[in-house]
Amino acid sequence: GQAALEEARARPPDLVVLDIMMPDMNGLAVLSHLKADPATRDIPVVIVTGYREAAEEALERGAKAYFLKPFRIPDILEKVRQQLKIPPFPKK
């Protein structure tokens, strides 16, 4: 968590996909730090969790979207595209 915060401050990413369960700092704490820092507050954050309550709390703290585990990779890619405003792939 702390390393991710330092990296986000040093080189702000276009998007953060953040798991709630992490070893040194949980994802909700990381999210709160990101949203409190002027250098990182506008980075969209997508949460990954197995708990709907944690996902809803993350939305209240400023996350843009969430995935509940288990999830499908195409669903993640679609949410990432939406957050980054990338048009969907054309259907064949």
Q: Report the distance separating Cα 84 and Cα 92, nearest Å.
A: 23
pLDDT of the residue at 17: 94
pLDDT of the residue at 22: 87
Q: Report the distance separating Cα 82 and Cα 46, nearest Å.
A: 11
pLDDT of the residue at 24: 87
Whether 29 contacts 57, CB under 8 Å: no
Global pTM value:
0.88
What is the mean pLDDT for each group of 10 consecutive residues in the chain (92 residues)?
Answer: 93 95 92 96 95 96 94 89 85 70
